[in-house]
Copies of this chain bind each other. A is one copy, B any other.
């Protein structure tokens, strides 16, 4: 983790990053300037923990580069993924607005650049600028939507169904094929965490889908051969 005051080039990067954050791009200059001068740059290596569940929530973060996950763990070591974040997502704000501790742990999945904004700065802006608050409200609401879906899936759907749904949700078109790209960190273990299960079970599920000709698991991608058939199994 490195620390640096936002010197001109850094400030530019931050400005560009913030500009891509939904609802924050159209904030008045006063808000933007406060954010620009208060944010500090941090860097994390793959696997490094940014904060743990229960840590005091001193900062709200903006993810400039790299993927990050937020999760909760049991003593036994099982892990439930809560969010997988990519640029330019905001994280850490929930803790700031509730009891002052982060609700989940956050880990860098790959080399990541983030901007840390002090909690008081955010709270101050929210109190003074309605348009900033409304942006936060929208951000928080859409996150609730995400967690409602997560709870529904975990409570009502089988691992197979969740897998199919996740594949379809993360699919992109790549030279004519429908694929879910796999990064270096997209191991079976990580995918299992995302689905709320363990590697073995996920592996079996994938095999089953592959045997049924619905998908093709390659080193750097999962090819969706039959999106329609996959959709059928989401029930």
| Interface residues, chain A, with chain B CB atoms under 8 Å away | 72, 74-76, 78, 80, 82, 93-94, 97-98, 103-104, 126-131, 133-134, 136-138, 140-145, 147-148, 150-152, 154-156, 196, 235
Task: Find A133's partner among B72, B94, B126, B147 (CB 8 Å cutoff).
Answer: B126
- Report whether B196 and A156 are in contact in the complex, using a CB–CB cutoff of 8 Å: yes
Which of B72, B75, B137, B150 has a CB less than 8 Å from the CB of A136? B137
Docked complex Cα distance between A138 and B152 (Å): 24
Which of A97, A147, A155 is packed against the most chain B CB atoms within 10 Å? A155
Q: Of B82, B98, B130, B154, which contacts A138 at CB under 8 A?
A: B98
Are A148 and B103 in contact, CB atoms less than 8 angstroms apart? yes
Asked whether, in the complex, the Cβ of A72 is within 8 Å of the Cβ of B152, the reply is yes
Contact between chains at B127 and A97 (CB < 8 Å): no
Closest to A196 in B: B155
Judging by beta carbons under 8 Å apart, are A128 and B130 in contact? yes
Decide: A141 near B74, CB < 8 A? Known: A104-B148, A134-B127: no
Pairwise interchain contact A156-B94, C-beta atoms closer than 8 A: no
Partner of A151 from the list B75, B127, B131, B147 (CB cut-off 8 Å) is B147
Q: In the complex, which of the residues B129, B144, B145, B150 contacts A130, with contact meaning CB atoms closer than 8 Å?
A: B129
Q: Which residues of chain B have C-beta atoms less than 8 A from A74's C-beta?
A: 156, 235
A127 touches B126 (CB 8 A): no
CB closest chain-B residue, reference A146 = B147
CB <8 Å contact, A141 and B94? yes
Contact of A137 among B72, B78, B97, B144 (CB under 8 A): B97
Which chain B residues border A130 with CB–CB below 8 Å?
A: 126-130, 133
Which of A82, A93, A141: most chain B Cβ within 10 A?
A141
| Nearest chain B residue, comparing its CB with the CB of A70 | B148
Bound CA span A131–B151, Å: 31
CB-contact partner of A98 in B72, B129, B141, B156, under 8 A? B141
